[in-house]
Amino acid sequence: MRRCSWRIFLAVVFGCVVLGQTSVLRAQAVAPKDTGVKIDGEYGPFLPTDISVDGYQVDRLINVLHVFMIGLFVGWGLFFAFCLVKYRQRPGHRANSVLIKAKPSKYLEIAVAIFEAVLLFGFSIPVWARVKSEFPTDDPMRVRVVAEQFAWNFHYPGADKKFGKLNPKIIDLVKNPLGRMDDDPAGKDDFVSGEFHVIEGRSVVVEILSKDVIHSFFVPVLRVKQDAIPGMRIPIWFKTKEKTAGAYEIGCAQLCGNNHFSMRAVMHVDTPEQYAAWVKKVTAPPEEFKED
């Protein structure tokens, strides 16, 4: 009877595993979705393509950590499994009340602590310092990103590299989504787009703003993420690698309302020529719209 129930049991387990595998197989068959622009880069169940010069530091930490985690887990799991098998209850076996020596565990804990300290002071704090305060001085592009429910606006300062003043009272969602002021000389050559264009191999300083709620500017391929907090302008920076021209995604990583899931924009990494052409197109005086 007892044996029988265990067989049923194993059969159930087997069934579950088969079912699990089928669902994985089904999973592969998700058709790519048309999102208007072909997105470059490789995406899968691990870290996506990295097109940023400094992104490897993030990847390196993540990889080192995972190796460490898996190593610890496997080692620990082997001991665990060994105990489960060796010390299972059986006739004639009684628990050994003589306690195990404390040393191995103490060494393990100390080792873990030291390793964490190394990760913290070696791989994390210096990188964070670089990312947060060593802003590029090599004539970076400056772009202002203004988040709103549920879209991204990219405000370019134009040739004078100065942003015009923004006034929330004159915002018009069709014609002046950021409330740029006509009488501000610094703002004369500014332009605003819904696409993010940067030049490959050139560092970019992005100032992040929000009109309404907290959003989060997330570019997976750049290893960049920064919350857009209303009432604050938070600058971040990144630099794309050479030869990375293409279209990539920008997402919102902080719940911002109904359409949080569709708050997506496209980042175009352009060659200098492509960028110039795009600027020309965007800044051209609008022609009259004629319905066909």
Shortest reach from residue 273's CB to other proteins, in Å: 20
Rounded Cα gap, residues 263 and 215, in angstroms: 9
Tokens of 142: 């400056």
> For other proteins, which residue of 203, 216, 240, 244 counts as binding (CB under 8 A)?
216
Residue 235 CB, nearest approach to other proteins (Å):
5
For the stretch 229-268, what's the b/e string if a residue is b when 16 or more beta carbons lie within 10 angstroms of its beta carbon? beeeeeebbbbbeeebbbbbbbbbbbebeeebeebebbbb
Q: How far apart are the first and last CA of the chain?
A: 80
* The residue count for the chain: 292
Candidates 3, 29, 137, 139: give the one binding other proteins (CB under 8 A): 29
Supply the minimum distance, in Å, between the C-beta of residue 39 and other proteins. Answer: 4
Does residue 66 belong to the site contacting other proteins (CB under 8 A)? Answer: yes
Question: Quick one: tokens of 143?
Answer: 């772009």
Residues 103-122, interacting with other proteins (CB under 8 A): 105, 108-109, 112-113, 116-117, 119-120
DSSP letter (8 states) at residue 180 = B
Give residues with Cβ within 8 angstroms of 143, minimum separation 6. Answer: 154, 155, 156, 157, 196, 198, 204, 205, 206, 207
Q: Which 155-194 positions form the footprint of other proteins (CB under 8 A)? A: 165-169, 171-175, 177, 179, 181, 192-194
**Residue placing its CB nearer to other proteins in the complex, 84 or 273:** 84
Collapsing DSSP states into helix, strand and coil, what is residue 117? helix
Nearer to other proteins, 112 or 276 (CB): 112
214 binds other proteins (CB under 8 A): yes
Q: Which one of 78, 159, 160, 233 is in contact with other proteins (CB under 8 A)?
A: 233
Distance CA 287, CA 130 (A): 45
Q: 215: which residues sit within 8 A by CB, 6+ positions away?
A: 147, 227, 228, 252, 254, 256, 263
If binding is defined by CB under 8 A, does position 47 make contact with other proteins?
A: yes
Determine if 52 is a binding residue for other proteins (CB under 8 A): no
Q: Does 267 bind other proteins (CB under 8 A)?
A: no
Determine which residue in the list 3, 7, 23, 138 makes contact with other proteins, applying CB under 8 A: 23
Of 67 and 276, which CB lies nearer to other proteins in the complex structure?
Answer: 67
Q: Does 261 bind other proteins (CB under 8 A)?
A: yes
Kindly give, in sequence order, each residue whose CB lies less than 8 Å from that of residue 179, ignoring residues fewer than 6 positions away. 166, 167, 168, 169, 170, 171
The answer to whether 279 contacts other proteins (rule: CB under 8 A) is no
Q: Which is nearer to other proteins, 99 or 280 (CB)?
A: 99
